[in-house]
Structure 1
Amino acid sequence: MYDDDDTTFSLVSTASVTDATSVTTRTELEHADDDIDFEIDDATSDFESGWEVSSGPSTSVPPSVYEDEIAYGRRYHGFRRGIYPMPNDEVERHREETVHALFLQLMGGHLFYANIGDYPQKIIDIGTGIGIWPIDVADQHPSASVIGTDLSPIQPPWVPINVRMFIEDSEEPEWLHGSDFDLVHFRQMTHVFRNLQGLLTKIYPFVPVVADAPPFPTLETVANYWEDRHVKNGGWVEFHELIFEIRCDDGSMKEDDPLRVFIESMKDGLRVYGINILTINELEQILGEAGFTNVHCITKKVPISTWPRDKTLRALGVFMKTTINDSLGAMAAKPLAALNLSPAQRVAMLEAARESLEDTSIHRYINCCVCYAQKREGHYAESLY
């Protein structure tokens, strides 16, 4: 267990976004409930508006930045438009909810494995999506200030009082919302970052940034050679990943299986955007190279569909099938379009993949991985698992 950290936690932002209509353009149907007047007692409420805009202290962010992009019949983020080729619409929301349920079952109800102690102070979720993970963590750890960051303001407008949501590109050179985090969490983000190595190096605190940095810095040399980064001494970073490689151990899947071909083509399309989906071994290696220790990578096979006899595996198979089915349409849009495939070709591949997904005689699975690692300190705190 770690000693309590009573450092005051401050958030840096230029504006507080309290009205979802000022952040994103929604349809008339989505506006239907906006006229409901919720009366909330500030003195007793456990929830508050959690949106804030993460930008430079003197930067004015135009409202147009937050207008969603509509393409291929799907909705995409408006902030840093076009850098992430997956949508943020209701289908994606449903997929994220399913993935959350899948990992909860896979991890025995745990939201993370890292041993951050009973009273953590600061937790951040990078690429939070709909914000379901930080909200659950905040409920379980009321001692902690919990942050979620994302390119899209699609999180609930009312969240627990110890939660803040930031609109941010986490691959920007600097983060603006604090340091000394007990836990930095990522879920399904290794297929998003263009430079995961650089990001992990950035969040590892007080590491020399040039070769000739002095080993014992003064206040003057700190400014010249060192960067204030984001994981506290003894803090943890944790990844929850679906490794997008369709596998089969019993020979029931052919090499030209339409679902497998579709996923491999999607990965080729992501490479056009500069995104490479990592393997588990690569993730473990990158964590070590960034300076982290106590590296643990737990891999579990999760079936696709209901072909296993075991009831628990069948339930996981339902979650995985739903997740993949919800993902296929998004994958057929920007990623496959990046390969210069015609609409007819993309539709044909999509239909073939969905038909193959329904075939329970093919015993396919995907590896799910939980990797967590610790920032070095004088002694190593034990992990929970």
Structure 2
Amino acid sequence: MAAVESSPYEERIEIGDDVSESEYESSLTSETTSLTSSVFNFVYENGRRYTSDRKGAGSGYVLPNDEQEQERLDLVHHAWTLGLKGELHVAPLPKAESDEKFTILDLGTGTGIWAIDMGDLYPNSEVLGIDCSPIQPTWLPPNVRFEVDDFEEEWVYRRTFDFIHGRNLVGTVQDWPRLLQQAYKHLAPGGVLELDETHVTGCHSEDDTCPPGGPVDRYNKALAEAGLKMGRDATVAPRLKQMLEDAGFVDVVEKRIRWPVGMWPKDQHQKQLGAVALEVCNSGVEAYGLAALTRVLGWELGKAKELINEVVQTLGKRGVHAVYPQFIVYGRKPEEKPVEASA
């Protein structure tokens, strides 16, 4: 695996799909042994594979990490790139436009595709992607590395970051204020945090083709209920701007866009985005819903599958004009004020 020399980050775990558990454990330090011994203890439920549950059964991470989910995550990255018209981020990054070195932290990196693209785009960057699941590749740009880590644990990095990025974290975070405080603490003065979030319980139509009480509405409400029961609020996306401001970030900006689901828009760009979004939903409705409905809410598998299938069928129907709101929120850590000399 390619790694950056003299990394500014604490040594943790680096692993890809082609690294065996025995090979991996042979290179561990004592500080990471407890994490390593459990990282391969995947949870298998209802035909899907989930990340190891080091905090005990039912602690709440309900998204799978199997190959089907990895394909979906890469498709989600494609959708975001389309939605942002080719951009990988929205927040301005002054150092990115110069030859000055700068550091990036990608929270919940998933397959690592965003981190890899950022490393390619900005060769003057040093990119660290972290995730609870060891599903990232090992062939990487020389300025990109991955570590298995839980961003809700205490951060112990030895240096600060110039840019911290999170995408589609809603539904996985138990304590948003604490996460934002840790991000703030580990940003360099003037550093930027950007969160790109789908309002996962906000799928709707503007012409009543997804009516109240219909499958999409019932699914949204079930996800919201499961999120509250887990302590992982799935409705938080519209409140992130205020949360960043409360955490001390300045110049906070919120941009709202929408993804159509399906090829019904007349605009060609929106039509293309809608086609990709529909493919994302075809697997994403189950990814977000299966464990949430069964493990968390206690539904029978058949009942959960029935609602999931109804939602997928509804979103794929001609004449249904569903949209998913997207929230891009970013803010800056203030520059440190120079200390004035005493008289």
| Residue number in structure 2 paired with 1:58 | 31
Distance 2:135 2:333 in 1: 31
Deviates more, 1:177-186 or 1:151-160: 177-186
C-alpha change, 1:128 and 1:15, in structure 2 (3 Å) is: closer
Whether the 8 Å contact between 2:163 and 2:191 is mirrored in structure 1 is yes
Pairing 1:87-236 to 2, within 5 Å after superposition: 87-117=64-94, 118=97, 119-173=100-154, 175-205=155-185, 230-236=186-192
TM superposition score normalised by structure 1: 0.77
Query: Out of 267, 270, 293, which is 1:313 matched to?
Result: 270
| Residue number in structure 1 paired with 2:224 | 267
Whether the 8 Å contact between 1:257 and 1:356 is mirrored in structure 2 is no
SS of residue paired to 2:88: coil
Q: Which AA in structure 2 matches 1:97? A: D
CA deviations 1:161-216 (Å, max 9, x no partner) are 1111010111012x2333321100000012211111111112223xxxxxxxxxxx
Stretches of structure 1 lacking an aligned partner (at least 5 in a row) = 1-7, 26-50, 206-229, 380-385
| Residue number in structure 1 paired with 2:293 | 336
Give the deviation of 1:267 after TM superposition: 2.5
Whether 1:11 and 2:9 are equivalent positions in the alignment is yes
| Residue number in structure 2 paired with 1:360 | 318
C-alpha change, 1:289 and 1:63, in structure 2 (3 Å) is: closer
C-alpha change, 1:361 and 1:177, in structure 2 (3 Å) is: same
Whether the 8 Å contact between 1:16 and 1:52 is mirrored in structure 2 is no
CA-atom RMSD in angstroms: 2.6
TM superposition score normalised by structure 2: 0.86
SS of residue paired to 1:158: coil
Structure label with greater radius of gyration: 1
Give the deviation of 1:19 after TM superposition: 7.7
Distance 1:16 1:347 in 2: 36
Q: Which AA in structure 1 matches 2:280? A: T
Give the deviation of 1:112 after TM superposition: 0.8
Distance 1:320 1:14 in 2: 35
Distance 2:323 2:127 in 1: 33
Distance 1:263 1:56 in 2: 44
C-alpha change, 1:60 and 1:144, in structure 2 (3 Å) is: same
CA deviations 1:240-296 (Å, max 9, x no partner) are 111121122223331122123123212222322211024444100000000001111
Give the deviation of 1:327 after TM superposition: 1.2
Whether the 8 Å contact between 1:306 and 1:315 is mirrored in structure 2 is yes
Count of aligned pairs between the two proteins:
322
Stretches of structure 2 lacking an aligned partner (at least 5 in a row) = 1-5, 338-343
C-alpha change, 1:342 and 1:257, in structure 2 (3 Å) is: same
SS of residue paired to 1:171: coil
C-alpha change, 1:263 and 1:52, in structure 2 (3 Å) is: farther
| Residue number in structure 2 paired with 1:295 | 252
| Residue number in structure 1 paired with 2:329 | 371
Q: Which AA in structure 2 matches 1:185? A: H
Q: Which AA in structure 1 matches 2:189? A: N
Whether the 8 Å contact between 2:198 and 2:237 is mirrored in structure 1 is no
Q: Which AA in structure 2 matches 1:243? A: H
Distance 2:12 2:191 in 1: 28
